[in-house]
Structure formats: C-alpha cells, structure tokens
Amino acid sequence: MKQIRNTKSKTEILTLINSSEVALSHAEIHTALNGLCDRVTIYRVLDRLSEEGAVHKIVNVDGVVKYAMCHNCETKHNHDHLHFSCENCKKVVCIENVVPEIQLPANYVIHDYNFVVSGICPDCG
C-alpha cells in the first residue's frame, strides 16, 4: 500500500485550492504561496494530489491546466460535470449541477473527458 505523505507544501497547496472558489493554475498557486516552495515541488504536489483524488485537473479553452477541489470523490474519482471558462477574466469554475450527456457511436468506450464551456461569467457580464 502506498503511503500518503503530508508535507507543509502539500498541506498549504491543498488548503489554497480548497479555499478557492475558482480553479487555480500552477502559476497562480506559485504566486499565492509567496516563495514557500519552488515550481518543481508545486508540480509534484499537484500530480500527487490529483493521483490521490484530492483535486482534479481542468484544461481551459486557452490550454492552461487548472486545479480544483474534488467533491463527492470518496469512492470513485468522478468529474462528470461542466467547467466554465470566462473569456474575460480567465476564471475557471466547476458547474457541478450540470452533467453533460455524451452519446458515441457503437464500440466507443469513454474513460474520461474534460468538458469546458467558455463565455462570460456573472462577474464580467
């Protein structure tokens, strides 16, 4: 069984993501941590948090990877919800009460998807 290490960096990054109402990029996390750890450590921690199911990755319409807190992933890692990417302020928000329905042709099997909708958020509208 793989041991889950808790370091100060991991704790601070997870606290930062959990307290944010929007998904955060690596650069935004690095800036917010104000020198607590280097960029490589942040990448490693984000990968570990993603593997552990504590956060999930979202690739926004600009190709920037952002990280958000996982909800309802205690037993199965599940992120079948929309992500809204604001074209103006660049915020990415999980829209968890909307689940897209995807129908593929026969013999296609979905393992994962990243559904991002872009537009203008209420703050910028």
* Spatial separation of the C-alpha atoms in residues 105 and 117, rounded to whole Å: 23
Tell me the angle at which helices 26-33 and 8-19 cross, rounded to the nearest 10 degrees: 110
Would the pLDDT of 82 be above 90?
Answer: no
For 17, 70, 98, the CA distances from 75, given in Å and listed in that order, are 21, 12, 21
Strand, coil or helix: what is 10? helix
Would the pLDDT of 96 be above 80?
Answer: no
* Spatial separation of the C-alpha atoms in residues 5 and 17, rounded to whole Å: 18
Tell me the angle at which helices 39-52 and 26-33 cross, rounded to the nearest 10 degrees: 120
In this structure, the strands spanning 55-59 and 115-119 are: unpaired
* Predicted local distance difference test score (pLDDT) of residue 113: 73
- Write the CATH number of the domain with boundaries 8-119: 1.10.10.10
Q: What is the pLDDT of residues 4-36, one digit of tens each?
A: 567 899 999 999 999 999 999 999 999 999 989
**What pTM did the predictor assign?**
0.75
Where are the chain's structural domains?
8-119
* Spatial separation of the C-alpha atoms in residues 118 and 101, rounded to whole Å: 18
Would the pLDDT of 45 be above 80?
Answer: yes
